[in-house]
C-alpha cells in the first residue's frame, strides 16, 4: 500500500490537505501568524517577546511534522497523549519539545511524564498526585498550567473558578510540578464579545491566585479563531494549530465534547 509520492514521502491525501510543498506553506503561515501576534501586541502596548507561540500539531501526520520542523517549528503541542506518543516514536531523532494541552486520563499519566515538557490541562487533585509521584520516580519536573472552565459550559474540562483558590493552595504538596499559570478554552464562537469575557475572567483569576502562589503567573489562552483577542486580554502563551497547519479534516467534537460552535 505505497501511496507515497516524491522525495518527501507525501501521500495523495497529504498533498490534498497540505499542498505539494508543506514546508514552504508552513513557513508562510508561520510568518503570517507571527505578524498577527506582533500587531496584537502592538495594539495592546505589549512587547512581542511577552507572548509565546505554542504550535498545536494535532492531526498533522508525523512525516508532515518533520517538514514543519524543517520550517522552524520545534515546539509541538498535542491534545491527545496517544497521538503524541506515536508521533514522538517516528520523530525521535529530532529534538522536539512536546507539550500536552488536552485532558489527561489518570491511567495515561505514565506516558506523559516520559517525555512531555509541559502539561496545560491540570484539572484535578488526583491527577496532580499521580503526576507528582510518577515524576518522582523519573526524577524530573513538569511545567503545568491549571485548566479553568471560564465559559460555564458544563461539557468543558477545567476547574470551576470557585474551586481554583483551594486547588492552588494544595499545589505546594507536589514539588515535582512546576506551576506556570492558568489555561482556558474560551467559548467557541465567532462573536468576540462573547469570547473576550472568558479571557478577561482567566486574567482576573490569575491576579487573585498569584497572591496565593506567585509561580502562577502565565495565561495560556487563545487559539486560531481568537488568539489576537487573547493577546489583548493578556495571554502569555497562545496555542495555535489551524492558522499554521491549515484546516483540520476531523471534526473538533473528537477533541472537545461541546462542538459545534455556540
Ligand X SMILES: *Cc1c(COP(=O)(O)O)cnc(C)c1O
Could you give the CA distance from residue 82 to residue 105 in angstroms, rounded to a whole number?
11
Instruction: Lay out the site mask for ligand X across 3-42 (x = CB under 6 A, - = otherwise).
Output: ----------------------------------------
Q: Do 97 and 117 meet the contact criterion of CB atoms below 8 Å apart?
A: yes
Which residue number, 74 or 92, has a Cβ lying nearer to ligand X? 74
Which residue number, 104 or 223, has a Cβ lying nearer to ligand X? 223
Which residues ranging from 39 to 98 are in contact with ligand X (CB under 6 A)?
A: 56, 58, 79
CB of 187 to ligand X, least distance (A): 14
Among 102, 179, 181, 234, binds ligand X (CB under 6 A): 102
Could you give the CA distance from residue 39 to residue 227 in angstroms, rounded to a whole number?
12
CB of 153 to ligand X, least distance (A): 14
CB of 243 to ligand X, least distance (A): 6
- Stretch of 81-89, 157-165, 204-212, 238-246 contacting ligand X, by CB under 6 A: 238-246
Could you give the CA distance from residue 238 to residue 241 in angstroms, rounded to a whole number?
10
Q: How many residues of this chain bind ligand X (CB under 6 A)?
A: 14
Could you give the CA distance from residue 146 to residue 180 in angstroms, rounded to a whole number?
8
Residue 96 per-residue DSSP state: P
Instruction: Lay out the site mask for ligand X across 182-201 (x = CB under 6 A, - = otherwise).
Output: ---x----------------
Q: Do 185 and 156 meet the contact criterion of CB atoms below 8 Å apart?
A: yes
Range list of H helices, 45-158: 62-70, 81-90, 109-115, 125-137
Could you give the CA distance from residue 167 to residue 19 in angstroms, rounded to a whole number?
46
Which residue number, 115 or 255, has a Cβ lying nearer to ligand X? 255
Q: Return the SS3 of 146.
A: strand
Q: Return the SS3 of 238.
A: strand
Among 25, 96, 100, 101, binds ligand X (CB under 6 A): 101
Determine phi and psi for 53, rounding to 5 degrees: -90, 120
Hey, what's the cell of 48?
512581542
Instruction: Lay out the site mask for ligand X across 212-231 (x = CB under 6 A, - = otherwise).
Output: -----------xxx------
The reply to whether 157 sits near ligand X by the rule CB under 6 A is no
Q: Which residues bind ligand X (CB under 6 A)?
A: 56, 58, 79, 101-102, 185, 223-225, 239-242, 255
Amino acid at each position: 500500500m505505497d501511496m507515497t509520492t516524491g522525495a518527501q514521502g507525501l501521500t495523495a491525501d497529504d498533498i490534498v490537505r497540505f499542498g505539494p510543498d508543506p514546508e514552504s506553506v508552513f513557513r508562510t503561515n508561520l510568518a503570517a501568524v507571527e505578524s498577527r501576534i506582533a500587531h496584537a501586541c502592538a495594539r495592546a502596548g505589549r512587547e512581542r517577546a511577552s507572548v509565546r507561540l505554542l504550535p498545536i500539531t494535532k492531526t498533522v501526520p508525523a512525516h508532515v511534522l518533520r517538514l514543519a520542523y524543517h520550517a522552524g517549528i520545534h515546539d509541538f503541542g498535542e491534545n491527545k497523549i496517544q497521538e503524541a506518543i506515536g508521533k514522538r516514536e517516528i520523530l525521535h531523532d529530532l529534538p522536539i519539545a512536546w507539550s500536552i494541552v488536552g485532558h489527561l486520563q489518570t491511567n495515561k499519566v505514565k506516558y506523559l511524564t516520559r517525555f512531555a515538557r509541559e502539561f496545560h490541562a491540570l484539572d484535578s487533585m488526583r491527577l496532580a498526585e499521580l503526576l507528582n509521584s510518577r515524576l518522582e520516580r523519573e526524577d524530573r519536573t513538569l511545567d503545568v498550567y491549571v485548566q479553568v472552565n471560564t465559559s460555564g459550559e458544563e461539557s468543558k474540562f477545567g476547574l470551576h473558578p470557585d474551586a481554583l483558590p483551594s486547588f492552588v493552595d494544595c499545589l505546594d504538596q507536589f514539588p515535582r510540578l512546576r506551576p506556570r499559570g492558568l489555561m482556558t478554552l474560551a467559548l467557541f464562537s465567532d462573536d468576540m464579545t462573547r469570547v473576550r469575557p472568558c479571557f478577561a475572567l482567566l486574567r482576573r483569576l490569575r491576579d487573585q491566585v498569584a497572591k496565593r502562589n506567585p509561580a502562577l503567573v502565565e495565561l495560556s489562552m487563545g487559539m486560531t479563531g481568537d488568539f489576537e483577542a487573547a493577546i489583548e486580554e493578556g495571554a502569555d502563551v497562545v496555542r495555535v494549530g489551524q492558522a499554521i497547519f491549515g484546516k483540520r479534516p476531523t471534526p473538533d467534537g473528537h477533541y472537545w465534547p461541546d462542538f459545534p460552535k455556540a
